[in-house]
Structure formats: structure tokens, C-alpha cells
Structure 1
Amino acid sequence: MTDPTSGAALRGAVDLSALRNRPTAAGPGDTVAPSSAASVASLVMDATDETFAQVLELSRTVPVVVDLWAEWCGPCKQLSPILEKVVTELGGRLVLAKVDVDANPQLSQAFRAQSIPMVVALVGGQPVPLFTGAVPEQQVREVFAQLLQLAAQNGVTGTVAVDGAAAPEAPAEPPLPPLHAEAFEAIEAGDYPRAIAAYERALAENPRDAEARAGLGQVRLLDRVQGLDLQAARAAAAAAPQDVSAQFAVADLDVAGGHIDDAFDRLLDLFGQLAAADRGPVRERLLELFGLVGDTDPRVVRARSRLASLLF
């Protein structure tokens, strides 16, 4: 499991270790970045089971967006051009690696691609779930902006040049709003309560600040899981199935580790067991985690449906 107490939560339970040391000889038609990551043939490349180790290495220099798709998938054909357009416009700050799940079963299994299109990112070799399903261009831009912030927090701030093209000028980074900057500084210092307070003040000033809301959800999770031991938390939860605090601890650790369905199922089971008067905190925690994972994520959609059935 990725360490959820790092400066930024690289969320994901994807195990890519078996793909790190594969032979990297490219097959016909494959376009994969060289291991030096100084330049690429294109900002949009195809990746395979055999060449994915190079993609992992590239992600240590620049965030790599992985688009898991298939030829028969209609929503994939809607989403892929949007991803390509936005990545290209970012001028080398992101790279897009396209994975045909039918032709690359090991990658499909590693990423647990139960539904496509599925989009994840790699930052420093670590997976970061982004979204599943076709989403509008504006949402893609917002997610990629958050991805670049997350990458910067983890020291992945490089750019790549396209072979044969002049190196693009790095676009000027707009200055962070003061409260966002305060939150980032606090996160880097490991002072999560101060980061939470900064994001809460930002939301008080502008309730529609989506980046502050997303940052607040992530840093609250970081604060809650800091210092928790997974085995001890699971033992405590097993010993007290209706202890709300014990179940919350395991659910938070599961979300931090990318086990989203496990977390939701645990809290929904707990919700169903409690008396109506005691359900409020569980519902609030579920809604908070729904917002953290993303309202369009199919796992959230399923969990919301089950929550509604338990309520009514």
C-alpha cells in the first residue's frame, strides 16, 4: 500500500512491481519513451505489457496519464481525443500513455480495469487513480491541474521535449492563492491541522473553490490516517463491528490505499446495522469520501445507490 502519510496522497492499490523490470524492446508500431526521459517521439504514446517499464521510468521525470481503452468501447473513442488535446496543450508537462486492454491483459489486470475508459496517472512510478468513464473536457482540465499540483508536491516537476521539435517554453505558473499556498506549505511540513484550517478558510471565502474542497478532503484523510497501523485497526474493527470510530479508521486506510469498494462496503454495512438515530456520522463520512473519490466514479455511483436504498 502506498504510504498515506507522505506529503501528498498517491492513492492507489495497483501493484505494478511485476512490470518494472520487463524487457523493453519495442515491437512494431510501439512508441515508448526512452529510459533517459530527455525526449519522447510524441506526447501521446502506445504502451504495452512488454514496454511499460519505460513508462514507469518516464513518470519519475514527468507525470504520465494512462488511458486504458479498447477498440470496441464507444465512450473510449469520445474521451481519448479530449485527453490527447489537453495533454498536447500542456506542452510536455504531462505525457499520455494509451493501453489497449484487449492486447495487454497483464496491464489490464494490474490496473484492475473492470470498466473502461479508465484513466490513472503515474507519479514517480506510483499509481494515482483519476476517473473512470467519459468526462467533459473541462473536468479533464481540472483533474490534470490537480495532478500537476500533486506531482509537484512529490518532486515530479520535469518536462519532456518531442524529438525533432523545439523545446517548448514552460508556461508560467499562476501564483497560488494565499490560502492554497499556506495549505501546501503546511502539508510539506506535515502540519495537517494547519493545512485543514487554511483550506476551510478558503472555502469560507469562496464556497465554489473546487480545488480547495478537493484539497481539504485529501488532507483530512491524511490527518486521520497518520500514525494508524493497518493490522491493529483491522483487529479493533473486527472485535467491535458496531464501533463507529474503529470502522472509520479501517475505511480511511482502505481509501488511502485505493481499496475504495472495501471502504464503502464497510461503512454501508455499518450504516445498515445502526439505529436511525446513530447513522448521521456514518452518512457524513460516506459523503465526504464520495467527494474525495469523485461523484462520477462508478464505485461512488454504486455506493450512493445502496445508501439511498438503506435510507428509504
Structure 2
Amino acid sequence: MSVNPPQGSEQPQPQPESRSVNTQGAVDLSSLAPDGQAGQASAPAGAGAGAGAPGAQPGQPAQASGADSWVISVSPQELQQVVQLSSQVPVIVLIHGTDADSERMRTSLEDLVDAQQGRVLMAEIDASSPEMAQAQGADQVPVATAFIGGRPVGEFDKSVPQEQLGQLVSQMVQLATQNGMTQALPPQSKRSGGAAEETEQELPPLHQKAHDALEQGDLDAAQAAYEEAIRENPGDEDAKLGLSQVQLMQRTSDVDLNEARQKAAENPDDPQAQIAVADVDVLGGHVEDAFARLVKFIQLHQGDDRETVRAHLVELYSVVGDSDPRVQSSRKQLARALF
């Protein structure tokens, strides 16, 4: 079964040249892809073996019943074909086993990916397959690598709290939108039973309005929708997080990363130059680098510039999420820098 391209567009979207995340330590699967597959843009033969179909083998058709899904099971040899699809939508490649951690992460990601309705594709690789013995680090399951524009933009494993997985998937969609990837794939498989239909919840109207605006690349409309949601419910933490993320996208929409880094290097005492690099680093996934940059500035400066950077760092904490361990670690470093 071939992966169906987004309606009205079969041309690959531009690659996010300056938005890739440092993926040092990621599982290296590139050697498993046969020569000559890199240019293909169709799904592997196992595309029909979707989520919720335990034991499905590549080449078997999707089950006829169940909810639409954007999760496919693939073999390691088919990886490169799937990665090519990340020129159209973000792709998550999940290597999983049969252990409890794998099942929890797999189920959570399946629900989150399917909730995006084609804006993200997930390919699952069974770590028990003989071919995986060739992959460095493949025994460290579960592990997921995210791809946008044919490039890895980050890796996460079972150490990521369950509640943070949703933020990671949302950030992938937002990063793709920032790079002009606003279309969605049609369903690629079926999930057996009704579990997905029962767990999938509709977004509140204003959240859906913001989500739709992001799909269209209209950041101002997305901001307005989130602000209205907060006015209606000042305790709406999801809307606050969404607003912070949209504002980050607005600040970085016209930033050239190379120019920003050069300016920051040449002007170490300029708070706005350091803030600009921190913003693009957070958007691109270099969260720890962004936090460390601003904490260092706070350590070395006093007065209004120090307070400006401190306030911005706290705002970036809200973008990433207060429960994220990277935020918790940086808060401790900030406290030491201040006191």
C-alpha cells in the first residue's frame, strides 16, 4: 500500500535548514536502508499494518474495521522510504519491544499521532526483528526519532514523562508549519476496535480555531484564538501554553539563525541578541542550550539587562512546560545564578 500524499500537493516542502536539533546519541538506522531507496516517496509494503494490530506483518492489508490511523508498521529496510515522507509531514520513527515501557510509549504516541489527523505520520519498527541487530543502540528501547524535511530533529525515549509526549508532538507540528508544511496525509491504516475513537477527544472550539489557524500559517489568528480562550477561562493552562508557543513562533518567523548566532557571539553583553538565539534554539529543540545561554548571561550581568533576560527565560520555561525535567534543572541553575 502506498502512502497517499496530501491533497493538492505532491511536491516536497522545503527542508528546515536551520531548525534541526542536535541528535547526538540517536540510534543510527541509516545503514539498514538498501541502496536506491532514498529517492522514493511511497510507503513501504508494510504500510497497511497499522496501530492496534498486534503481530501484523509487513505486506498484510490494514484491518477493515476500526478508526482511521496514521501509524504504520515497517521493517528496518523500509526506513529510508518513510523518512522521505517527512518532506510532506513530520515523521516519528519508533523502535519498540514487547516490554511494558515500550507498550506505554507506543500506545501514547499512537493516540497522539492519530489525534493530529494526518499532520504527523508514525512508523513503528519491531526491535526483535533480526535486522535490528545491525543497528547501533537498537537494544535501548523504546526510542523515537523525529524527522522533518528528511532530517532528524530530535530523539526521545522512555525517560520522557508521559504528559510531555503530547507537547513534543505538538511542537513537531508547529515546527513543520513554520517551515511551510501545512497539509495533511489521508489515513494510512486502521486501528482495530474502538479504543482510539473512545480516547480521542475533540478540541474546545477556540483551541480548534487556533489549531486551524496554525495549519494555515496564520499566527495572528492563532494568537487571537488562544487569547480569547484565556479571557473566557483564565485557568486554561493548555491555552496559555499554546499562546506562549505561538508567540515564540512569531518572534522567530523572520530570524536568520546564522545571523542571529553571529550577532550574539559579537555582542555578548546585548540581552536582545542572546534572547534571539535562545528563542530559535527552543523552537528548534535545543532547549538546554537556550536555557544555559540565558542563565550564563544572568550570572555575568546586573541591572535591567539581567532582569530582562531573567523574565524572558521564565517565559521560555512556560513554552517548554513547567513539568519538563529540563525546565526543573534550569530553574535550579537560575536560582544559583541569582543568589
- TM-score, normalised to structure 1, is 0.67
User: Secondary structure at the residue paired with 1:202?
Assistant: helix
Q: 1:219 to 1:129 in 2, by over 3 A?
A: farther
Deviation for aligned residue 1:136:
5.6
Which of 303, 306, 319 is residue 279 of structure 1 equivalent to? 306
CA displacement at 1:213 relative to structure 2:
2.6
- 1:39 corresponds in structure 2 to 48
The answer to which of 251-260 and 13-22 deviates more is: 13-22
Aligned counterpart, 1:84: 106
Aligned to 1:105: 136
Once the two structures are TM-superposed, the CA of residue 84 in structure 1 deviates from its matched residue by 2.9
Q: 1:257 aligns with which of 284, 292, 300?
A: 284
After superposition, the C-alpha distances for 1:71-128 in whole angstroms (9 at most, x for unaligned) are 9xxxx955322123335667976645358698523889xxxxxx98654444664555
Please tell me the residue identity of whatever aligns with 1:306: Q
Q: 1:89 to 1:276 in 2, by over 3 A?
A: closer
In the alignment, residue 79 of structure 1 is paired with which amino acid? Answer: D
Give 1:155's aligned residue.
Answer: 183
State the one-letter code of the partner of 1:158: P
User: Could you list the per-position Cα deviations for residues 273-312 of structure 1 after superposition, in whole angstroms to 9, with x for gaps in the alignment?
Assistant: 1115542221222222233334454443432221121122
AA aligned to 1:237 is A
1:212 corresponds to 2:239: yes
**Is the contact between residue 214 and residue 292 of structure 1 (CA under 8 Å) also seen in structure 2?**
yes
Extract unaligned runs of 5+ from structure 1: 5-9, 26-32, 109-114
Query: What residue is the counterpart of 1:183 in the other structure?
Result: 210
**Deviation (angstroms), 1:149:** 6.4
Give the CA deviation at 1:146.
3.7
SS in 2 for 1:105: coil
Correspondence for 1:112: none
Distance 1:149 1:236 in 2: 29
What is the one-letter code of the residue matched to 1:97? E
SS in 2 for 1:97: strand
CA drift of 1:253 comes to 1.9
Question: Secondary structure at 2:124's aligned position in 1?
Answer: strand
1:183-205 C-alpha deviation (Å, 9 max, x unpaired): 33443454423422321221232
Instruction: Find out whether 1:244 has 2:266 as its counterpart.
Output: no
What are the Cα deviations for residues 36-56 of structure 1, in whole angstroms up to 9, with x where unaligned? 6751246575764x5421332
Structure 1 counterpart of 2:231, one-letter code: A
1:22 matched residue in structure 2: 33
**Segment of structure 1 superposing worse, 258-267 or 144-153:** 144-153
Q: Percent identity?
A: 34
Could you tell me how far apart the structure 1 residues matched to 2:29 and 2:85 are?
A: 17
Q: Provide TM-score, normalisation by structure 2.
A: 0.62
State which drifts further: 242-251 or 231-240: 231-240
How many residue pairs end up in the alignment?
285
Supply the RMSD in Å over aligned alpha carbons: 4.7
Per the TM alignment, residue 267 of structure 1 is displaced from its structure 2 partner at its CA by 1.0
3-state SS of 1:154 partner:
coil
State the match for 1:2 in structure 2: 16
Q: What stretches of structure 2 of length at least 5 have no aligned partner? A: 1-14, 37-41, 50-55, 58-70
